[in-house]
């Protein structure tokens, strides 16, 4: 993937260079980065890449910026060599960095998440899958699916193939792993959005084989060596919902950002399998997610047609 000056500047300003060490100065948040890009444009400097090579005096003068703020910007921009070394190491691991300045960046993220859209993400696999329409499957680890739910998950994946959709998952053990395996077996493309451990997970046989076929893309918002955390999981789910035309919740504890997704309309069509367990499924249904009592009774082609329509209203299974 080729990066221009704007993309490289975005990396310098927003990415931590290690998974477990404090930076000398704190990288910019997505919202701070957007504010800075507007400030650069308003100052008549053009794009954000114009900051490369500026010293602290120039940043203070041209952006009318306080010294402490300008110092932070310049310190982040001075990380050119460490970032280049990190990118080279990632490349050797088949991991690349995708920024909001790159053509491959999915427009749905910026449209849905606005200032919360990630400035940069780590990716491994077929980046072209970002252009395919996706339907999401989300689940949590440590929860056993009911037989009806597992059957519904497998039927959902098979239906995606018939309609030409890809599958995007929150990629946790359990329902997501069942869906991903089913997808790889029947030829459905898969985007797995991770909440950590990208460097480790990409080495699993299932993903290696799928990547060789061009059938898989792994995405992470955090450093490839960063471990899984619950905070990362909530942020990851925002990405899954925002990139999907429709989403299905197989299992949840109702604490994975579902209410936020409903409130912010991150995904126009959100469904949850209406099963007795786990209780979280019933909770998110009570908060506005559409229940799926029996997936076998769903006219999938009909729903798929509506998902493709920009202004269609969400259908009800009831």
As a whole number of angstroms, the distance between CA 133 and CA 268 comes to 14
Question: Does residue 16 fall inside a structural domain?
Answer: yes
Distance, in Å, from the CA atom of 9 to the CA atom of 3, rounded to the nearest integer, reads: 10
Nearest to residue 76, comparing CAs of 117, 113, 29? 29
In the numeric block, which tokens belong to residue 205?
A: 């046989």
Could you tell me which residues come within 8 angstroms of residue 44 by beta carbon, excluding any fewer than 6 positions away? none
Q: Show Cβ contacts of residue 12 under 8 Å, excluding neighbours closer than 6 positions.
A: 76, 77, 79, 80, 83
pTM score, whole prediction: 0.92
Position 112 in a domain: no
Question: 111 in a domain, yes or no?
Answer: no
* In a shared domain, residues 160 and 30: no
Same domain assignment for residues 90 and 136: no
Would you write out the chain's pLDDT as a tens digit for each of its 318 residues? Answer: 789 999 999 999 999 999 887 788 999 999 999 999 999 999 999 999 999 999 999 999 999 999 999 999 999 999 999 999 999 999 999 999 999 999 999 999 999 999 899 999 999 999 999 999 999 999 999 888 999 999 999 999 999 999 999 999 999 999 999 999 999 999 999 999 999 999 999 999 999 999 999 999 999 999 999 999 999 999 999 999 999 999 999 999 999 999 999 999 999 999 999 988 899 999 999 999 999 999 989 889 999 998 987 434 444 444
Closest CA to 47 of 8, 78, 95, 14: 8
Of 19, 18, 123, 17, residue with least CA distance to 76: 17
Instruction: Say yes or no: 132 and 214 in one domain.
Output: yes
**Which residues form the domain of 80?**
5-95
Question: Within a domain: residue 26?
Answer: yes
């Amino acid at each position: 993937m080729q990066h221009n000056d704007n993309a490289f500047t975005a990396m310098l300003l927003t990415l931590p260079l290690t998974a477990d060490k404090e930076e000398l100065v704190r990288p910019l948040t997505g919202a701070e980065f957007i504010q800075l890009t507007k400030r650069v444009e308003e100052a008549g400097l053009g794009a954000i890449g114009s900051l490369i090579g500026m010293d602290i005096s120039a940043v203070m003068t041209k952006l009318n910026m306080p010294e402490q703020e300008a110092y932070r910007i310049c310190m982040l921009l001075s990380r050119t060599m460490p970032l280049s070394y990190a990118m080279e190491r990632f490349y050797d691991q088949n991991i690349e960095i995708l920024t909001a300045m790159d053509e491959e960046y999915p427009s749905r993220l910026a449209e849905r998440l606005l200032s919360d859209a990630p400035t940069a993400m780590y990716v491994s696999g077929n980046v072209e899958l970002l252009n395919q329409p996706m339907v999401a499957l989300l689940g949590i680890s440590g929860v056993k699916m009911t037989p009806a739910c597992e059957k519904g998950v497998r039927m959902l994946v098979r239906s995606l193939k018939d309609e030409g959709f890809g599958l995007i998952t929150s990629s946790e053990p359990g329902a997501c792993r069942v869906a991903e395996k089913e997808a790889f077996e029947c030829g459905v493309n898969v985007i797995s959005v991770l909440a950590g451990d990208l460097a480790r997970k990409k080495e699993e046989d299932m993903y290696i084989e799928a990547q060789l076929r061009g059938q898989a893309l792994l995405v992470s918002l955090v450093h490839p060596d960063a471990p899984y955390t619950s905070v990362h999981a909530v942020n990851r789910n925002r990405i899954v919902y925002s990139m999907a035309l429709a989403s299905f919740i197989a299992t949840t504890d109702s604490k994975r950002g579902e209410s936020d997704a409903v409130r912010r309309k991150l995904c126009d069509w959100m469904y949850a399998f209406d099963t007795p367990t786990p209780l979280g499924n019933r909770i998110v249904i009570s908060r506005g997610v559409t229940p799926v009592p029996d997936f076998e009774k769903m006219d999938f082609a009909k729903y798929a047609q509506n998902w493709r329509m920009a202004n269609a209203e969400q259908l009800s299974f009831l």
